[in-house]
């Protein structure tokens, strides 16, 4: 992965707020509704850092505009959001309404930026606003034109940009533009070519232009861009989500290998629409998806127009509590997750990695699609409707793996393990990134290896901006070791110009079975405490296991109620079309343009969900070949 990054680059260091939880919907229809949603997060104590605006904030779906009736003062709305610790991200699509008097269309026409057909006339495709024209992002001149529009748009208080429909997608039966369209690409990427040559990089080049516009707008903030379409190397400009999925258990399962495959492709910042975009989730489906989705590198809930509300409190009090616990886990683990992103930024390694990264020689680990690694932290989920993670048999890599929780174990949350030899930095259970302070107490979770040793690392900086590139950061390497039954934990070395904050240090040594012993000290000073005897450890482990069993027995799993969705097309959404061709067996949902639900390789019996990344939104007609 590091060698690959030498060829394709690494992601820029993300702002810390962008690693919090994101709440989205197609669409929150007014500024009042946006503020109501975020205030509800705050009132209910559910962590959230970002709210998203889909196309309905625009005036008639015209990019770079605002609906005067429903979003009359976006800057004021953003100021209100910032006052309660929430950022905002706004959608921009490539399809620009072909309309005289619309300033973006007029400017683009004057600057000759639109893609043309083979005969030299404008290509016109139908998207949300109706007839649209499309910028030719293969030209640096045209990317600069777009970037300047983005720069000006950011002045409304926009914190991030969402590039959607940038495959490019159309709402007509062709689904994308003509392959014969002409691009005036720069010489260094291929020059003048037809669309079939540039199709796969169009979305990435749009994301690049958007990213460069955000860079123009501020030298003090790190850009955040999310793109639906990408190409290898797109992590240099944008995060990626896995597209318009469905609210069902198969797509819940697929979301884990999809994120891992993107990580293996050099894109470490990705995630699915938690809960599913199309259709209605049940409480159990949503809670289970949030349980492990809260630990994906990019964590966002999103749902389609016409579906039921999909905020964490929309499925009853039990599901709300599961979502609260899941997201509090994420925020407690943010010091570790942020450190993983720093390492990824420097070395090109994935943030979420497949289980076989813990032991590449064990071929059986390569088949596992329900577990993933966050560095030395192992997340074991269940994607089975009738079994919680604690009821599943999880294959662990060789070595020591010790289970732990935050006193929050639940049948619909994943099981967590820490690899022996690792130290995990943990923060406070905050509700948004802005609540945290460098002076807050820091916790270290320690899992000793077979030699009684452990090590870990913590990266800290301002959380935004570029001071870290000038040395304004603190990178701390912690070590733990047992000498004659006495554990010592200390700072081995540091990097960066920052002085260590004055803060308390809480240290917990995992013993097995969820049991642990704890001690306290001051960060930067060596901490010593005595390990219990083998008999005492056995007693502590047995008691901890018994307590966990009792706690889980008292908790009722979330209901899996399957109610009619009320979505247009829902009456056919359950009627799968099953197709077999050679070695492949497909299940297709014939709605919303057609969606492939699953794709099974018959000789191996394996569900090839990794192929779903780029094909789930492709129209599928029963009479055509895949």
212-224 residue pLDDT tens: 999 999 999 999 9
**Closest Cα to residue 461, out of 498, 505, 503, 423?**
498
Judged against a pLDDT cut of 50, whether residue 569 lies above it is answered with no
- Please state whether 608 falls in left (phi above 0), alpha (psi between -120 and 50) or beta: beta
Position 557 confidence tier, pLDDT thresholds 50, 70, 90: confident
Using DSSP bridges, classify how beta strands 474-483 and 453-460 pair: parallel, antiparallel or unpaired.
antiparallel
Strands 160-163 and 182-184: unpaired
Q: Is the dihedral of CA 12, 18, 23, 28 positive or negative?
A: negative
Averaged pLDDT of the chain: 92
Res. 337: pLDDT tops 80 = yes
Global confidence as pTM: 0.92
* pLDDT tens figures, 237-287: 999 999 999 999 999 999 999 999 999 999 999 999 999 999 999 999 999
Write the CA distances from 186 to 198, 211, 236, integer angstroms.
Answer: 11, 19, 20
d(CA 590, CA 621): 8
Residue 369: which residues within 8 A CB-CB, separation 6 or more?
Answer: 253, 256, 257, 383, 607, 609
In the three-class reduction of DSSP (H, G, I as helix; E, B as strand; rest coil), residue 541 is classed as helix
Q: With CA atoms as reference, report the closest residue to 312 among 163, 175, 412, 165.
A: 412
C-alpha dihedral, 384 to 385 to 388 to 393, nearest 10°: -20
Q: Does 49 qualify as catalytic in the annotation? A: no
Q: CA-CA distance, 94 to 323, in Å (whole number)?
A: 34
Report the pLDDT averaged over residues 156-185: 94
pLDDT of residue 570 exceeding 70, the answer is no
How many angstroms separate the Cα of 203 from the Cα of each of 43, 207, 215?
A: 38, 6, 18
Element (H, E) at 492: strand 486-495
d(CA 193, CA 182): 6
| 48 CB neighbour count, 10 Å cutoff | 26
- For 520, residues 6+ apart whose C-beta sits below 8 A from its C-beta are 504, 505, 506, 507, 527
Mapping DSSP to helix (H, G, I), strand (E, B) and coil, where does residue 210 land? helix
Choice between 577 and 515, residue whose per-residue pLDDT is larger: 515
Give residue-wise pLDDT tens across range 78-107. 999 999 999 999 999 999 999 999 999 999
Q: pLDDT grade, residue 602 (50/70/90)?
A: confident
Quick count: other Cβ atoms within 10 Å of Cβ 399? 12
**Residue 398 DSSP SS3:** coil
Rounded CA-CA distance 22/567 in Å is 24
The answer to whether the CB of 154 falls within 8 A of the CB of 87 is no
Please report which confidence band the pLDDT of residue 626 belongs to, taking 50, 70 and 90 as the band edges.
very low
Q: Would you state the pLDDT for residue 190?
A: 97
Q: In terms of DSSP H, where are the helices of 237-354? A: 249-264, 283-293, 317-332, 334-347
Which H or E element spans position 443? strand 442-447
pLDDT in tens, 386-407: 999 999 999 999 999 999 999 9
What span, in angstroms and rounded, lies between the C-alpha atoms of 363 and 368?
10
* Whole-number percent of the chain with pLDDT over 90: 88
DSSP string, 80-142: HHHHTT-EEEEEE-S-EE--TT-HHHHHHHHTT-B-B-TTSSBP-EEETTEEEE-B-TTSHHH
- For residue 161, the surrounding DSSP H or E stretch is strand 160-163
For residue 623, the model assigns a pLDDT of 31
Residue 609's pLDDT band, with cuts at 50, 70 and 90, is very low
From the list 244, 321, 412, 460, the catalytic residue is: 244
Q: Is the pLDDT of residue 615 over 90?
A: no
Q: What is the pLDDT of residue 597?
A: 61
Distance, C-alpha 393 to centroid of its chain: 26
Percent of the chain topping pLDDT 70: 92
For residue 503, how far is the Cα from the chain centroid?
Answer: 31
End-to-end C-alpha distance for the chain, whole angstroms: 31
In angstroms, the CA 299 to CA 24 distance is: 11
Cα–Cα distance measured from residue 564 to residue 308, given in angstroms and rounded to the nearest whole number:
10
Residue 167 annotated among the catalytic residues of the structure:
yes
The Cα 498–Cα 481 span in angstroms is 26
At residue 239's C-alpha, the angle toward residues 286 and 206, to 5°, is 125
Of 49, 56, 67, 167, which is the active-site residue? 167
Largest distance between two CA atoms of the chain: 84
Q: How far apart are CA 69 and CA 41, in angstroms?
A: 25
Predicted local distance difference test score (pLDDT) of residue 608: 53
Give mean pLDDT, residues 10-29.
97
Q: Is the pLDDT of residue 575 over 70?
A: no
List CB contacts of 412: < 8 A, sequence separation 6 or more: 284, 287, 288, 291, 322, 388, 557, 558
For position 576, what pLDDT does the model report?
Answer: 62
Contact 448, 421 (CB under 8 A): yes
- Which strand (E) or helix (H) includes residue 424? strand 422-426
Q: How far is CA 503 from CA 184, 257, 541, in A?
A: 57, 39, 30
d(CA 184, CA 46): 49
Output phi, psi for 383, to 5 deg: -110, 15
Backbone angles phi, psi at 377, to 5 degrees: -90, 125
Neighbour-count burial for 190-220, b at 16+ CB within 10 Å, e otherwise:
eeeeebebbbebbbbbbbbbbbbbbbbbeee
Cβ proximity of 220 and 251 under 8 Å:
no
Task: List the beta bridge partners of residue 458.
Answer: 476
């Amino acid at each position: 992965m590091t060698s690959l990054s030498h060829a394709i680059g690494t992601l820029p260091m993300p702002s810390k707020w962008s690693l919090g939880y994101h709440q989205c919907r197609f669409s929150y229809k007014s500024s009042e509704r946006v503020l109501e949603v975020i205030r509800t997060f705050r009132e209910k104590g559910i962590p959230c850092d970002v709210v998203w605006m889909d196309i309905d904030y625009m005036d008639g779906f015209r990019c770079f505009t605002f609906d005067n009736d429903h979003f009359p003062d976006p800057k004021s709305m953003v100021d209100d959001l910032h006052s309660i610790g929430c950022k905002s991200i706004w959608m921009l699509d490539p399809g620009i309404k072909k309309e005289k008097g619309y300033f973006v269309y007029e400017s683009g026409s004057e600057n000759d930026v639109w893609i043309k057909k083979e005969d030299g006339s404008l290509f016109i495709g139908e998207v949300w606003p109706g007839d649209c024209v499309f910028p030719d992002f293969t030209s640096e001149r045209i990317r600069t034109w777009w970037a300047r529009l983005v720069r000006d748009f950011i002045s409304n208080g926009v914190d991030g940009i969402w590039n959607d429909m940038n495959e490019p997608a159309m709402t007509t039966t062709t689904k994308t533009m003509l392959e014969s369209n002409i691009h005036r690409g720069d010489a260094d990427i291929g020059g003048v070519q037809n669309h079939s040559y540039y199709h796969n990089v169009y979305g990435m080049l749009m994301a690049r232009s958007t990213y460069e516009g955000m860079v123009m707008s501020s030298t003090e903030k790190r850009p955040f861009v999310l793109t639906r379409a990408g190409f290898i190397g797109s992590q240099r400009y944008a995060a990626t989500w896995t597209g318009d999925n469905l609210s069902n258990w198969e797509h819940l399962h697929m979301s884990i290998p999809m994120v891992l495959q993107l990580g293996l492709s050099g894109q470490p910042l990705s995630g699915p629409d938690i809960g599913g975009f199309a259709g209605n989730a049940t409480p159990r489906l949503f809670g289970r998806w949030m349980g492990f989705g809260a630990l994906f590198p990019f964590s966002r809930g999103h749902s389609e127009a016409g579906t039921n509300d999909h905020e964490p409190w929309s499925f009853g009090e039990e599901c709300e509590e599961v979502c609260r616990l899941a997201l509090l886990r994420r925020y407690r683990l943010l010091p570790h997750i942020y450190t993983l992103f720093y390492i990824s930024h420097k070395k090109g390694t994935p943030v979420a990695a497949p289980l076989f990264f813990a032991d590449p020689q064990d071929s059986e680990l390569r088949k596992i699609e329900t577990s993933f690694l966050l560095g030395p932290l192992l997340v074991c989920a269940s994607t089975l409707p009738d079994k919680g993670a604690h009821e599943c048999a999880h294959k662990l890599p060789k070595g020591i793996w010790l289970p732990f929780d935050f006193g929050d174990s639940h049948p619909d949350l994943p099981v967590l393990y820490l690899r022996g030899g690792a130290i995990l930095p943990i923060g406070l259970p905050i509700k948004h990134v802005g609540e945290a302070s460098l002076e807050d107490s820091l916790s270290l979770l320690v899992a000793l290896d077979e030699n009684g040793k452990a090590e870990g690392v913590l990266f800290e900086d301002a959380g935004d901006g570029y001071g870290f590139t000038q040395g304004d950061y603190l990178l701390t390497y912690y070590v733990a070791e047992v000498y004659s039954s006495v554990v010592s934990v200390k700072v081995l070395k540091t990097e960066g110009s920052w002085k260590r904050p004055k803060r308390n240090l809480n240290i917990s040594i995992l013993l097995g079975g969820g049991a642990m012993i704890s001690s306290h000290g001051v960060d930067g000073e060596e901490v010593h405490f005595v390990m219990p005897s083998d008999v005492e450890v056995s007693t502590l482990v047995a008691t901890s296991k018994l307590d966990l069993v009792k706690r889980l027995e008292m908790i009722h799993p979330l209901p899996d109620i399957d109610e009619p969705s009320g979505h247009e097309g829902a009456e056919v959404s359950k009627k799968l079309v099953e197709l077999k061709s050679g070695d492949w067996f497909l299940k297709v949902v014939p709605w919303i343009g057609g969606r492939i639900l699953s794709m099974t390789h018959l000789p191996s019996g394996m569900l090839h969900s990794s192929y779903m990344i780029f094909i789930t939104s492709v129209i599928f007609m029963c009479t055509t070949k895949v």
